[in-house]
């Protein structure tokens, strides 16, 4: 950037080429009033508040759009400018009747501030008293056009921040209004309720519906923390009044999300204050839960675990940790299981999502985490989004994908369903569920055949290429077309597109992993990245998108049966020795059971006691009827959660945990970024943070090393035992998150993995074979069921079903079915239907939609009333032990009307 | 079709087609019958098509066929010649005969009579609205004769759907020349040299614009044609697209070549122009077929194509950045510049946008050279500009003139001025973004700088003519309404500022304005103009600013006087007649009462507001009739005659109306002068009970009514009767009482004084010989005659002047025995200030009217007038009154033998009664008083009438008297003076609220009144014009449309 020099208000100031005059003013502390300008949005020069006088310009010019040039002479506060600004404010005030008394933005309104600043105490122009109807159709957003100043920030936020483009200007002149789609009520428009518009609005025209009259800006205490939903790790600012979260803003400065949030992140918080929150320990007596004191419950737990351990041995005990809990809590939990239970039987729900990522990427690259960073996605030249419904499940990353498309990137979507991203894609590969290996190998076959591979990269950085190349022989395009159902030309086109446009990046999620050959799927993506030299560079890589807020952290913290924190193998004696020394006890050498294996063992009565924190396998695991049976067989089950979940109902003791807003700690997001979680409110009722509870159970079980005054102490212990977290401290995190590996206090963190060398040394190509899904449609079960999540709910709905706005938007389960299948089955829109598999049946509502391809139906697993996982197949991937949640054979029948 | 691949191939087409078109330029009328080829050119532009030219075209084909003329007669559809008002237009060639308003049913008549018999069908010829003469030949019509057609030169001559006809007139020759003989830089150089400036409005030099884009970095650039013409009343671009689309295509292709790296052009044409879209689309298709568009044009390696982008009707999409984002598929909102389109235009690529007219100039510039083009027009303003001349104009249509032609040339020489002899007031130039240029600037050269200097803009060339019936406040309101609706709504100043200005204007036009509103308007307007994002907002205030600048007094009339002088702002008045009448007579009211047979009530209604109905009913210049809406049907209601009827009827039936004085007041008021102003003031003050004394210097009361107006117009007894009424009310009128000391009256106990001494002194010309015997001032002459003094009238009398005094003098001289009476007037007859009927009667009576001549010398013989030397005058530029200024033609002096000269060139008051410094005296010797309150700077002394205004009319003097009375009343009551005249104290008279019947609104001329035969008239001073009979009056009253009852 070239430095330039300007004269502003007689002062010599510096700027950079490409700056606007406003940029330079801001950088030099020169105040220029603005309304339509907002950092992070494009500038349009609409409000004209920022007009300045520029030498040699006949008219006054808006500072926000005027390019700063060397030698420019600018005046920002002449009598004329101030007169114009006052007039403009008067015009805005005269456009509507503004009533600050009951305005939500009172005290936080940019218009109010300017009017006050300019001391406009009366308006000489006639005021338009016309009252426009308020749009309150949305569950979460209230639009009051009477407070709208038509600055267009919401329009730009909708397009530029949210990537939606739902809001736009309509009509002309003084009739200009902002509309959603074709002037439809917001609820009937394509609005995804992300609320970016609210955050962008300078006045009270767009407000949080549920926050109305709940508090005014000066009454709020503001706490920055990390969103508790998906793995993107958006930074949010809680606005708190009287120990209650009233509203949430996206943090704009220094965060990956730059203020952007999805509907859940912005509006999905009121579960925290839901009356169903567990507020006291419960002990089941005679089949009924009774309230108990903490001492009573904790002592009972310590006693029972000790009894059972003594009776059946350590390996009859197991612990399930939680991807919703902090790093510190996961660390403590696995430490508790390993030191106190004396077993490695510890796992968590990563098993159901990204276990193959860890195994597959470790095998090929040496590290099972997202190779690159979120903010690089927008700059990619090509994106392959396979098995990820990004805009629904990782909306803020979905926005990055669209940003890349806006910047001219080629987007290849591989998905059986017509997801939103398909509409932005250069190419949509609609492959059959479970045929990812064939599809990817077919693409790689084309790349190799056409010589589009990165030979230098392969030569210098990789190994085992020849064997891999051999394995491509099985994948001629006729075969691939027949297996995947994707026309061979499209496969070839996708291959070329990916190989030619660099940097190219791969995004994937559960569509790749939740498969009986998920491990192979992951390795196929890794092979493709290596084949085209797309590893270790900006905007490239293999990027698994993590589902839970802290699933990465829970893995990092060793809530896995085979590794200690930092993926240090339990089987390695040296490492074990290190932890034995640190924790002051001996540790078991053999890896423990995985999640599904634990439940199987419970079914077989080999596991007798289970300590379960913040998980809900009774709804999330495949074939849940079997899970229920397993849980019922346990002699002692402790569940620690914020609500009485479906799983908690099986428990002997239930402990009330604090929500994310009620505790301190850290989460590690999908891009390996460790970020702070901050206690914003006092725990609800008698609930306690998980770290406190675990320590209490441990201490009452007689364990040592659980005397922590604060999660800070825990992190200090973590970083001393975990090389990749070595440089991560609370002090440093105050300045924003850090991406591991961050081994030392002066290490800046690692946005891109495998830069010069793979973590494992050379990247390893792995030859692959196509294996069909474990269960395919047949006469009795002619349809494939695939499962997933929706934008408006999260996981088993424990939280989102208790959020009024979200649950109103999507109150019930549906099964998506193609019109062709529906008509063959005599099903019409909204019919009640019964979906059956070999494992059971659920009743839900039909949603007839082209989004589902013929032969494939789709359900979410959020709804306890229609639990999709009754149907799913528990068949495991042999390596990663993930069940095949994405493919099972079902039939759908209409219920009698 | 084989592509044209060389100049030779082009020449081959030209060589083949041009001879076939020769007939169209053949002006020889004589050979029509035996002409081997006849082309019937039917205009198929939008205007003519809307008027039915498609049907006419078919009818011509049928008629040609049924007469077996197919072999030699072609029916050709052409584009628009810009004379749409008269459409459908059909031209028969050879001979260039223009038929206007041709219906399908006229076709066979034209074919049979004109083509077969060689006779012109008179009834379908164009009749000049100014001269009223039929003009058979297109090229002889003044409208066309005054034009210089560069852009429009092929419009109406060629078939726009046939590319070969364009080629026949050297079409695409310029493109071939550019591509094969010139480097791009040379083309650029030629365009720069031509001095062509953007015809879209801003006038940015085209060569410079192209140069910017030529040198901007970029592998992909665009040329764009702005055909989004959206100004109300502008249609010149449409005409070019419809009449000569290939010139635009060729221009764009040349531009693309010159600019470089341009492969694609877009023509943004508004979708409301279906025919233009269709024609251009067809032309593009043909150009591709012929190889003028497409890949590798003429084998030169240059590739270029054009697509049409139909605009969806938003005015703001004519703004260049908005137009570009609109093509990109986004909402057509303007974008802040910089960056400029030359660097970041369409799809962020360097782009040139020119409008239709600019592009269509290019081929001829390349063909004829930049020097040729720059030789047309003015320095810095090369070439021609097309204007759409519309509004209150006799000949409307597209006028193409060299830049720098005067506005008056366009409006009067080409357009023939406002129709119906109305006074020209202003033009709105540049559409809603433009401003008004008033009469006083009528000589302004129309060029970019001059127009901008007057607060208007050239714009795309909309020229809306306004006459005396156009209200400037309303005009500003209209255009703001337009820009308010067409604002994109993006930036605050434009979106909110314009509606707020509009609200203020609406307030003003409803009589609710305040003077501060003008300041607010100006403040808002300047902010909106300066701070708005795009040209729309920046120029939208122009109509407001320029009307305030040029017509401030009209705003003040609305705000202070609650008057709309043009009688447009309907909220301010009940009916135009009443609003226009200086004393606000309820003309519709007495018409309605007369119609009902209630003549006595009609009389009372009149007399309540006018103490002299019989006088005014005879001599008024009746401005009411000029605004009468009945004129839009046929002719105005004879309001003055109805008034006279009611007054005469009352006299005849001994109906007297002397209002009752309800309360006697002690205060005494002195009025100096017993003319209409003085007596009217006396009347009003007396009704209020004040003690009024009127001092009259002359032996007769009545002022000018008594000594200025000849008896044949105003019989003495009529005046006496109405003066008597004033006395009956209790007013003391002292004749032969000259006042020499105004302030002494105050000492005498008068609490207020009204000076209404009139203007009784004649002005002199200041030429040699004025002191000769037999040279009179007209006013002196008339006074002497009126007072019965012996005046020696010559045999050959010359009257100098054109006003009522001149006319009266001439007629009096005739009646006093002159053999020959001449009126010498320096301008044209239509410019004479005298009442038109009077001029007419004067001529009837045998007075010789000599116009465009002025005396230079009075020659004498023995101290007596013997000869008058005159010089002939010619009219040149317009003066501030909107008339052309007369100039003496050197060497054209001539002499006329006369023995009497009456100079009637103006009057001034005799202010000798005012002591030095007592009151201020202004130009023309008039007394200075506040025009609204008539207060002088001396407390208690008021002045009005001719003494203040200079010679004016009777009814204006009466109004002044009433205004003075109102002010004196307020003064005596210790109230603040007001510009609004308060007159009450009369019993209400009910006016029937019955709308005219359907039949009464049908066309019907006014009832004529009888006049004594001229010969008989001149024999005596007997009243020349008699009044209506009751039946006639009722019949005439029925013509009133009762505008007052309109909702």
Q: Does B538 touch chain A (CB under 8 A)?
A: yes
DSSP assignment, residue A876?
Answer: B
Shortest distance, CA A778 to any CA of chain B (angstroms):
49
Q: Percentage of chain B surpassing pLDDT 70? A: 100
Comparing CB atoms, the residue among B484, B503, B533 nearest residue A45 is B533
Q: DSSP 3-state assignment of B104?
A: helix
Query: Which residues in chain A touch residue B485, judged by CB atoms under 8 angstroms apart?
Result: 172-173, 175
Q: Select from B321, B331, B335, B489 the residue whose CB has the most chain A CBs within 10 Å, as the one to mutate to test that interface.
A: B489
The rounded distance, in Å, linking the Cα atoms of A43 and A64 is: 6
Residue B985's pLDDT is what? 64
Answer whether residue B1020 shows pLDDT above 90: no
pLDDT digits (tens, 9 = 90+) for A679-699: 999 999 999 999 999 999 999
What residues of chain B lie within 8 A of the CB of A59, using their CB? 530-531, 538
Search chain B and give the residue with CA nearest A127.
B500
* Contact assignment for A125 to B520 by CB distance below 8 Å: yes
Q: How far is A355 from chain B (nearest CA, A)?
A: 46
R_g of chain A, CA atoms, integer Å:
28
Which of B261, B270, B191 is CA-nearest to residue B226?
Answer: B270
CB contact under 8 A, A60 and B530: yes
Which of A91, A110, A145, A156 should one mutate to test binding to chain B, selecting the residue with the greatest count of B CBs within 10 A? Answer: A91
CA-based nearest distance A173→chain B, Å: 4
Q: What's the whole-number mean pLDDT along residues A626-637?
A: 93
Residue-wise pLDDT tens digits, B703-715: 999 999 999 999 9
**A55 to chain B, minimum CA–CA distance in Å?**
14
CB contact under 8 A, A174 and B497: no
Token digits of residue B830: 């239509």
Burial class (CB in 10 A: 0-12, 13-18, 19+), B343: middle
Torsion angle (degrees, nearest 10) of CA A520, A522, A526, A527: 30
Indicate the residue of B316, B331, B493 with minimum beta-carbon distance to A169.
B331
Chain B residues within 8 A of A124 when measuring between CB atoms: 520
Q: Which of A727, A741, A738 is nearest to A567 (CA)?
A: A741
Q: Do B489 and A173 touch (CB under 8 A)?
A: yes
Contact: A171, B530; criterion CB under 8 Å: no
The pLDDT, as a whole number, for residue B404 is 95
Nearest to B491 among A46, A126, A172 (CB): A46
**Cβ–Cβ contacts within 10 Å for residue A323, how many?**
27
What does DSSP say about strands A73-75 and A61-62: parallel, antiparallel, or unpaired?
unpaired
Mean pLDDT (chain A) is 93
Region A471-479: mean pLDDT is 93
Stretch (H or E) spanning B1031: helix B1030-1037
This complex has an ipTM of 0.87
Residue A95 touches partner B, C-beta closer than 8 Å: yes
Residues of A in Cβ contact (< 8 Å) with B532 = 48
With an 8 Å Cβ cutoff, is B486 touching chain A?
yes
Residue A897 has pLDDT above 70, yes or no: no
Burial per residue of B512-526, b for 16 or more beta-carbon CB atoms within 10 angstroms, e otherwise:
ebeeebbebbbebbb
Mean pLDDT throughout A510-535?
Answer: 93
pLDDT in tens, B483-503: 999 999 999 999 999 999 999
CA–CA distances in Å: residue A41 to residues A196, A437, B344, B685: 11, 41, 20, 73
- Give the lowest-confidence range in A101-110, A128-137, B90-99, B294-303: A128-137
B492 to chain A, any CB pair closer than 8 A? The answer is yes
Contact A174 B495 (CB under 8 A): yes
Rg (CA), chain B: 34
Flag the least confident range among A28-42, A161-175, B272-286.
Answer: A161-175
Percent of chain A with pLDDT over 90: 86
Contacts of B487 in chain A (CB under 8 A): 172-174, 176
Q: What pLDDT does B1047 receive? A: 56
Give the pLDDT confidence score for residue B117 in this predicted structure.
Answer: 87
Q: For tokens 């946008």, what's the residue?
A: B353
- Over residues B426-469, the pLDDT tens digits come to 999 988 889 999 998 999 999 999 999 998 888 888 899 999 99
Q: Length of chain B, please?
A: 1047
A122 contacts chain B (CB < 8 A): no
pLDDT at B1026: 85
Tens of pLDDT along B1031-1046? 999 999 999 999 999 7
Residue A127, chain B, CB below 8 Å: the answer is no
Q: What is the pLDDT of residue B448?
A: 93
* Main-chain dihedrals φ then ψ at residue A392, nearest 5 degrees: -95, -35
A92 and chain B: CB distance < 8 Å anywhere? yes
The string of pLDDT tens digits covering residues B646-658 is: 999 999 999 999 9
- Put simply, whether A60 touches B (Cβ < 8 Å) is yes
Chains A, B: CB pairs < 8 Å: 105
Q: Which residue of B has its CA nearest to A51?
A: B531
pLDDT the model gives residue B668: 96
Strands (E), A402-502: 410-414, 427-429, 462-463
The answer for residues whose C-beta is within 8 angstroms of residue A887's C-beta and 6 or more apart is A433, A434, A515, A773, A774, A775, A776, A784, A785, A786, A873
HEC secondary structure over A46-95: CCCCCEEEECCCCCCEECCCCECCCCCEEECCCHHHHHHHHHHHHHHHHH
Q: In A, residues 129-158, which contact B (CB 8 Å cutoff)? A: 149-150, 152
Residues in CB range of A40: below 8 A, 6 or more apart: A160, A161, A252, A258, A259
Mean pLDDT, residues A700-711:
91
List phi, psi (to 5°) of A847.
-120, 105
Q: Which residues, numbered 565 to 604 in chain B, qualify as contacts with chain A under a Cβ-Cβ cut-off of 8 Å?
A: none
Provide the β-strand partners of residue A291: A282
User: According to the model, what pLDDT value does residue B34 have?
Assistant: 81
Q: Given this model, what pLDDT does residue B612 score? A: 95
Partners of residue B489 in chain A, C-beta under 8 Å: 150, 169, 171-176
What's this model's pTM, rounded to 2 decimal places?
0.89
pLDDT digits (tens, 9 = 90+) for A781-791: 999 999 999 99
Nearest-neighbour CA in chain B from A17: distance (Å): 14
**Interval A69-74 mean pLDDT:** 95
**Mean pLDDT computed over B854-882:** 90
pLDDT at residue A720 greater than cutoff 60: yes
**Residue B334: its chain A contacts at CB < 8 A?**
none
Question: What is the band of A1 on the pLDDT scale with cuts at 50, 70, 90?
Answer: low
- How far does the CA of residue B88 sit from the closest CA of chain A (Å)? 36
Q: Which residue of A has its CA nearest to B485?
A: A173
**A114 contact residues in B (CB cutoff 8 A):** none
How open is the CA angle A576-A669-A620, to the nearest 5 degrees?
85
């Amino acid at each position: 950037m070239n430095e330039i020099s300007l004269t502003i208000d007689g002062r010599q100031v510096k700027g950079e080429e490409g700056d606007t005059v406003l940029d330079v003013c801001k950088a030099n502390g020169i105040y220029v009033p603005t309304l339509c300008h907002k950092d992070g949005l494009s500038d349009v020069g609409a409000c004209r508040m920022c007009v300045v006088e520029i030498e040699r310009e006949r008219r006054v010019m808006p500072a926000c759009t005027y390019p700063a040039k060397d030698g420019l002479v600018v005046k920002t506060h002449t009598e004329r400018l101030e007169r114009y600004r006052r007039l403009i404010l008067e015009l805005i005030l005269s456009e509507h009747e503004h009533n600050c008394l009951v305005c939500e933005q009172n005290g936080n309104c940019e218009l109010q501030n300017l009017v006050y600043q300019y001391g406009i105490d009366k308006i000489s122009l006639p005021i338009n008293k016309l009252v426009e109807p308020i749009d309150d159709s949305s569950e979460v957003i209230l639009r009051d056009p009477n407070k709208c100043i038509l600055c267009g920030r919401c329009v730009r936020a909708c397009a530029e921040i949210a990537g939606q483009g739902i809001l736009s200007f309509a009509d002309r002149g003084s009739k200009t209004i902002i509309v959603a789609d074709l002037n439809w009520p917001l609820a009937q428009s394509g609005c995804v309720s992300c609320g970016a518009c609210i955050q962008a609005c300078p006045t009270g025209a767009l407000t949080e519906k549920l926050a109305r009259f709940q508090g005014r800006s000066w009454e709020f205490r503001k706490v920055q923390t990390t969103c508790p939903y998906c793995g993107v790790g958006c930074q949010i600012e809680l606005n708190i009044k009287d120990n209650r979260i009233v509203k949430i803003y996206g943090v704009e400065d220094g965060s990956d999300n730059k203020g952007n949030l999805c509907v859940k992140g912005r509006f999905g918080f009121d579960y925290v204050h839901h009356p169903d929150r567990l507020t006291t320990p419960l002990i089941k007596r005679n089949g009924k839960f009774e309230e108990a004191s903490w001492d009573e419950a904790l002592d009972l737990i310590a006693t029972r675990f000790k009894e059972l351990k003594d009776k059946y041995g350590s390996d009859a005990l197991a612990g399930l940790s939680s991807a919703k809990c902090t790093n510190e809590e996961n660390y403590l939990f696995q430490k508790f299981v390993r030191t106190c239970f004396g077993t490695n039987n510890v796992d968590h729900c990563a098993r159901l999502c990204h276990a193959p990522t860890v195994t597959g990427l470790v095998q090929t690259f040496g590290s099972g985490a997202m190779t690159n960073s979120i903010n690089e996605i927008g700059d990619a030249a090509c994106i392959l989004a396979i098995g990820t419904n990004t805009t629904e499940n990782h909306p803020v990353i979905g926005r990055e994908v669209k940003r890349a498309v806006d910047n001219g990137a080629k987007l290849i979507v591989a998905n059986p369903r017509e997801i939103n991203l398909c509409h932005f894609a250069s190419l949509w590969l609609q492959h059959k569920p479970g045929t990812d290996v064939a599809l990817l190998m077919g693409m790689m076959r084309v790349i190799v055949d056409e010589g589009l591979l990165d030979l230098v990269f392969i030569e210098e950085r990789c190994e085992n290429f020849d064997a891999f190349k051999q394995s491509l022989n099985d994948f001629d395009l006729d075969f691939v077309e027949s297996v995947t159902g994707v026309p061979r030309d499209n496969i070839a086109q996708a291959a070329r597109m990916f190989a030619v446009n660099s940097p190219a990046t791969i995004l994937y999620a559960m569509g790749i992993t939740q498969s009986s050959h998920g491990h192979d799927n992951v390795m196929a993506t890794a092979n493709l990245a290596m084949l085209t030299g797309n590893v270790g560079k900006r905007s490239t890589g293999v990027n698994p998108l993590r589902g839970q807020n802290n699933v990465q952290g829970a893995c990092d913290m060793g809530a896995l049966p085979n590794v200690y924190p930092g993926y240090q193998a339990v089987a390695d004696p040296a490492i074990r020795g290190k932890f034995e020394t640190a924790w002051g006890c001996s540790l078991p050498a053999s890896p423990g059971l995985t999640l599904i294996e634990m439940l199987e063992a419970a079914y077989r009565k080999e596991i007798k006691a289970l300590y379960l924190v913040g998980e809900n396998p009774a709804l999330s695991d495949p074939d849940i009827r079997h899970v229920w049976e397993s849980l019922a067989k346990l002699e002692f089950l402790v569940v620690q959660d914020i609500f009485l979940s479906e799983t908690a109902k099986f428990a002997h003791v239930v402990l009330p945990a604090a929500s994310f807003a009620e505790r301190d700690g850290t989460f590690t997001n999908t891009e390996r970024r460790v970020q702070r979680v901050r206690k914003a409110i006092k725990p609800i009722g008698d609930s306690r943070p998980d770290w406190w509870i675990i320590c209490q159970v441990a201490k009452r079980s007689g364990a040592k090393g659980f005397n922590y005054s604060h999660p800070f102490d825990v992190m200090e212990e973590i970083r001393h035992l975990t090389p990749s977290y070595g440089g991560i401290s609370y002090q440093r995190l105050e300045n924003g998150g850090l991406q591991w590996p961050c081994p030392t206090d002066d290490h800046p963190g690692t946005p891109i993995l495998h830069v010069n060398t793979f973590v494992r040394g050379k990247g390893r190509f792995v030859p692959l074979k196509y294996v069909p899904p474990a269960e395919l449609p047949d006469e009795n079960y002619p349809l494939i069921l695939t499962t997933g999540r929706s934008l408006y709910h999260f996981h088993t709905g424990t939280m989102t079903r208790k959020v009024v706005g979200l649950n109103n938007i999507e109150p019930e389960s549906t099964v998506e079915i193609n019109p062709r299948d529906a008509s063959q089955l005599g099903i019409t829109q909204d019919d009640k239907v019964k979906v059956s598999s070999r494992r059971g049946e659920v009743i839900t509502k039909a949603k007839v939609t082209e989004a589902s391809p013929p032969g494939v139906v789709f359900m979410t697993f959020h709804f306890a009333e229609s639990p999709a996982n009754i149907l799913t197949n528990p068949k495991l991937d042999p390596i990663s032990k993930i069940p095949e949640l994405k493919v099972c054979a079902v039939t759908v029948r209409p219920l009698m009307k | 079709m084989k592509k044209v691949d060389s100049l030779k191939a082009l020449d081959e087409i030209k060589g083949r087609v041009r001879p076939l078109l020769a007939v169209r330029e053949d002006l020889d009328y004589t050979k029509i019958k035996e002409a081997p080829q006849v082309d019937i050119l039917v205009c198929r532009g939008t205007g003519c098509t809307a008027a039915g030219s498609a049907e006419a075209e078919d009818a011509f084909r049928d008629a040609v066929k049924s007469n077996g003329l197919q072999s030699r007669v072609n029916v050709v559809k052409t584009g628009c010649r810009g004379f749409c008002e008269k459409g459908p237009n059909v031209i028969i060639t050879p001979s260039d005969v223009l038929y206007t308003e041709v219906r399908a049913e006229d076709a066979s008549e034209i074919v049979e009579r004109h083509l077969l018999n060689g006779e012109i069908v008179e009834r379908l010829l164009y009749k000049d609205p100014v001269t009223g003469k039929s003009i058979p030949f297109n090229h002889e019509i003044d409208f066309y004769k005054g034009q210089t057609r560069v852009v429009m030169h092929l419009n109406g001559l060629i078939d726009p759907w046939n590319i070969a006809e364009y080629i026949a007139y050297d079409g695409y020759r310029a493109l071939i020349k550019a591509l094969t003989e010139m480097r791009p830089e040379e083309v650029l150089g030629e365009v720069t040299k031509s001095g062509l400036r953007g015809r879209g409005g801003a006038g940015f030099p085209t060569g410079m614009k192209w140069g910017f884009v030529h040198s901007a970095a970029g592998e992909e650039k665009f040329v764009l044609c702005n055909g989004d013409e959206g100004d109300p009343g502008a249609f010149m671009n449409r005409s070019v697209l419809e009449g000569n689309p290939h010139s635009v295509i060729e221009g764009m292709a040349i531009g693309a070549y010159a600019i470089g790296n341009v492969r694609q052009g877009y023509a943004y044409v508004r979708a409301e122009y279906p025919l233009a879209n269709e024609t251009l689309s067809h032309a593009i298709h043909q150009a591709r077929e012929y190889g003028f568009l497409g890949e590798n044009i003429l084998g030169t390696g240059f590739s270029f194509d054009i697509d049409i982008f139909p605009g969806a009707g938003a005015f703001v999409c004519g703004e260049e950045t908005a137009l570009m984002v609109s093509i990109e598929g986004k909402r057509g909102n303007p974008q802040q510049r910089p960056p400029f389109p030359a660097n970041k235009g369409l799809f962020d690529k360097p782009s040139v946008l020119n409008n239709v007219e600019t592009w269509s100039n290019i081929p001829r510039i390349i063909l004829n050279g930049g020097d040729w083009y720059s030789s047309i027009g003015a320095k810095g303003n090369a070439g021609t500009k097309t204007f759409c001349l519309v509004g209150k104009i006799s000949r409307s249509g597209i006028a193409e003139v060299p830049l720098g032609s005067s506005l008056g040339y366009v409006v009067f020489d080409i357009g023939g001025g406002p129709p119906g002899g109305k006074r020209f007031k202003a033009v709105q130039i540049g559409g809603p973004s433009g401003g008004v240029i008033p009469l006083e600037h009528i000589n302004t050269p129309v060029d970019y700088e001059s127009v901008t200097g007057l607060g208007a803009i050239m714009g795309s060339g909309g020229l809306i003519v306004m006459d005396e019936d156009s209200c400037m406040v309303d005009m500003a309101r209209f255009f703001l309404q337009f820009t308010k609706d067409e604002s994109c709504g993006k930036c605050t100043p434009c979106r909110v500022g314009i509606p707020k200005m509009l609200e203020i204007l609406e307030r003003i036009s409803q009589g609710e304005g305040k003077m501060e509103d003008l300041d607010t308007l100006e403040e808002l307007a300047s902010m909106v103009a300066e701070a708005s994002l795009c040209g729309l907002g920046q120029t939208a205030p122009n109509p407001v600013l320029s009307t305030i600048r040029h017509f401030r007094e009209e705003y003040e009339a609305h705000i202070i006087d609650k008057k709309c002088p043009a009688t447009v702002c309907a909220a301010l008045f009940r009916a135009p007649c009443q609003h226009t009448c200086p004393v606000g007579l309820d003309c519709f009211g007495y018409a309605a009462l007369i119609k009902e047979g209630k003549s006595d009530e009609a009389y009372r209604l009149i007399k309540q507001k006018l103490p002299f109905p019989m006088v005014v009913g005879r001599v008024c210049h009746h401005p009411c009739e000029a605004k009468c809406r009945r004129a839009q049907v046929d002719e105005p209601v004879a309001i003055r005659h109805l008034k006279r009827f009611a007054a005469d009827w009352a006299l005849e039936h001994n109906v007297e109306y002397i209002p009752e004085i309800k309360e006697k007041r002690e205060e005494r008021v002195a009025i100096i002068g017993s003319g209409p102003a003085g007596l009217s003031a006396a009347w009003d003050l007396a009704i209020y009970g004040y003690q009024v004394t009127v001092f009259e210097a002359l032996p007769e009361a009545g002022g000018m009514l008594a000594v200025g107006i000849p008896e044949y117009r105003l019989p003495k007894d009529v005046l006496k009767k109405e003066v008597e009424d004033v006395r009956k009310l209790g007013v003391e009128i002292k004749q032969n009482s000259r006042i020499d000391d105004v302030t002494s009256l105050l000492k005498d106990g008068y609490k207020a004084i009204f000076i209404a001494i009139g203007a009784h002194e004649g002005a002199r010309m200041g030429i040699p010989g004025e002191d000769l015997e037999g040279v009179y001032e007209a006013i002196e002459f008339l006074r002497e005659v009126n007072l019965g003094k012996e005046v020696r009238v010559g045999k050959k009398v010359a009257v100098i002047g054109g006003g009522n005094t001149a006319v009266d003098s001439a007629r009096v001289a005739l009646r006093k025995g002159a053999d020959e009476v001449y009126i010498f007037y320096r301008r044209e007859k239509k410019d004479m200030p005298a009442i038109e009927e009077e001029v007419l009667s004067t001529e009837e009576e045998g007075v010789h009217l000599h116009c465009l001549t002025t005396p230079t010398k009075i020659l004498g013989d023995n101290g007596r007038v013997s000869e008058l030397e005159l010089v002939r005058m010619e009219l040149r530029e317009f003066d501030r009154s909107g008339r052309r200024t007369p100039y003496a033609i050197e060497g054209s002096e001539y002499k006329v033998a006369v023995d009497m000269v009456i100079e009637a060139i103006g009057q001034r008051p005799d202010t000798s009664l005012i002591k030095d410094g007592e009151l201020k005296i202004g130009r023309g010797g008039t007394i200075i008083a506040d025009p609204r309150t008539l207060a002088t700077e001396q407390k208690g002394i008021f002045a009005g009438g001719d003494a203040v205004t200079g010679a004016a009319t009777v009814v204006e003097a009466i109004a002044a008297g009433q205004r003075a009375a109102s002010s004196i009343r307020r003064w005596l009551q210790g109230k603040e003076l007001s510009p609004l005249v308060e007159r009450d104290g009369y019993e209400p008279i009910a006016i029937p609220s019955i709308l005219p019947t359907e039949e009464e609104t049908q066309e019907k001329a006014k009832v004529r009144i009888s006049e004594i035969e001229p010969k008989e008239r001149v024999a005596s001073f007997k009243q020349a014009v008699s009044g209506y009979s009751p039946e006639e009056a009722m019949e005439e009253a029925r013509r009133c449309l009762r505008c007052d009852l309109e909702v």
